[in-house]
Amino acid sequence: MENETVHALTLPMTSLSRSLPVDDDAILVAEANDGDREAFERLVERHQNRVFRLAGRFFRHREDVEEAAQDTFLTAWTKLGTYKAKAPFEHWLTRVCLNTCYMRLRREKPQERLPAEIGSEAGDPNARLDAERLLARLEPRDRFILQLLHGEGWSTTEIAAQLGWTVSNVKVRAFRARRRLRQLVEAG
Amino acid sequence: MNCRQARKLLTHSMGANAQARRHAASCGACSRFATRLKEIDRALVAPRSEISPPPGFARRVRSRLAPTEDLIGWAALRLLPATLAVVLLLSWLNLRGESVQNAAAENPTDAVVSWMLDLNVGDGS
Ligand SMILES: [Zn+2]
């Protein structure tokens, strides 16, 4: 949870950042750091929609999304002392959420990655199911990085800043993920 | 541009690279490749689920918050004899050359980076 100074960079964060008043967060964080659970509950209320939306990018089932969101806030509570307030709280919380989702994805079984059915919004349902089956064959870490690149629309620099990784680490992972995706599509 | 180069560019751009698309327009195999890629891009962009926080979520989180440092401090004080015994045991094991693994990473990011970059796990690629 270090290096939140990098988040002082202006990140687009796409739809993640309809920013809440930072000052209010700062007060609540300070109170929560003093052990005020009610203040922390207020923080949860203020940020739960964003955390659910982000977790919903990676998990299909309600219980997984809820558990990922809950784990995010429980981790945030225990690590709150490491947040130095050099950047907005929501950026720090985004990093906690992404890390939490990652750790859960590692444990996800391949059969859990496939949808039970394809929604009507998807265009050609067969083509969509074919795409979902192919994505299910990707390693979770490969899918994760592709979702951040193409789903969230973040650049490698933005991903690095969000996760606290080096840009070269992100580039290596993105290269591997794309190579694996190409191989799977070609093998089709 | 050959098929291999075109597919690399298509994958990198998720089908948007103009040069690669020109190649795909005159190559059946790459055209099919681009079509599948487009569908995958659509699947990646769509969230896997759109779930709102249930009523009372924040309160439930609050009820599960770990004890604060003060409470931990008191608990640690009560458990001091047992803690000392464990520390001595671990030191003894360490002296015998047995490494004690700390499975729970202090900083999740470090564990995640290790995982992502195959420092611990091979991905066969
Ligand atoms: Zn071709």
pLDDT tens profile B38-51: 999 988 888 778 88
* Per-window interface: A 2-41 vs B, CB < 8 A: 2, 35, 37-38, 40-41
Range of the domain at A135: 123-188
Q: How far is Cα B39 from Cα B26, in angstroms, rounded to an integer? A: 20
Q: Minimal CA–CA distance to A75: which of A98, A53, A50?
A: A98
In a domain, B62, yes or no: no
What count of Cα atoms within 13 Å lies in the side-chain half-sphere of residue B35?
Answer: 12
Tokens of A94: 């985004």
Predicted confidence at residue A21, as pLDDT, reads: 62
DSSP A21: P
With beta carbons under 8 A apart, name residues in chain B contacting A148: none
Number of domains into which chain A is organized: 2
Task: Evaluate if pTM is beyond 0.80.
Answer: no
Range of the domain at B75: 68-124
**Helix ranges restricted to H, A80-124:** 89-107
Distance from the A41 Cα atom to the nearest Cα atom in chain B, whole angstroms? 5
In a domain, B59, yes or no: no
Q: What Cα–Cα distance (Å) separates residue B79 from each residue in B8, B50, B71, B82, B104?
A: 59, 45, 12, 5, 21
What is this model's ipTM?
A: 0.77
Q: Minimal CA–CA distance to A163: which of A85, A118, A103?
A: A103
Task: Please report the number of interchain residue pairs, chain A to chain B, with beta-carbon separation below 8 angstroms.
Answer: 161
Per-residue pLDDT of chain A (188 residues; tens, 9 = 90+): 444 443 433 344 444 444 556 668 999 999 999 999 999 999 999 999 999 999 998 888 899 999 999 999 999 999 999 998 888 899 899 999 999 998 898 887 665 655 555 555 556 777 778 888 888 888 888 889 999 998 888 999 999 988 888 999 999 999 999 999 999 999 87
Number of domains into which chain B is organized: 2
Task: Verify that A32 and A93 share a domain, yes or no.
Answer: yes
A141 touches chain B (CB under 8 A): yes
A176 touches chain B (CB under 8 A): yes
In a domain, A144, yes or no: yes
Greater model confidence, A132 or B7: B7
Predicted confidence at residue B102, as pLDDT, reads: 39
Q: How far is Cα A154 from Cα A150, in angstroms, rounded to an integer? A: 7
- At B122, the pLDDT band (50, 70, 90 cuts) reads very low
Task: Verify that A78 and A132 share a domain, yes or no.
Answer: no
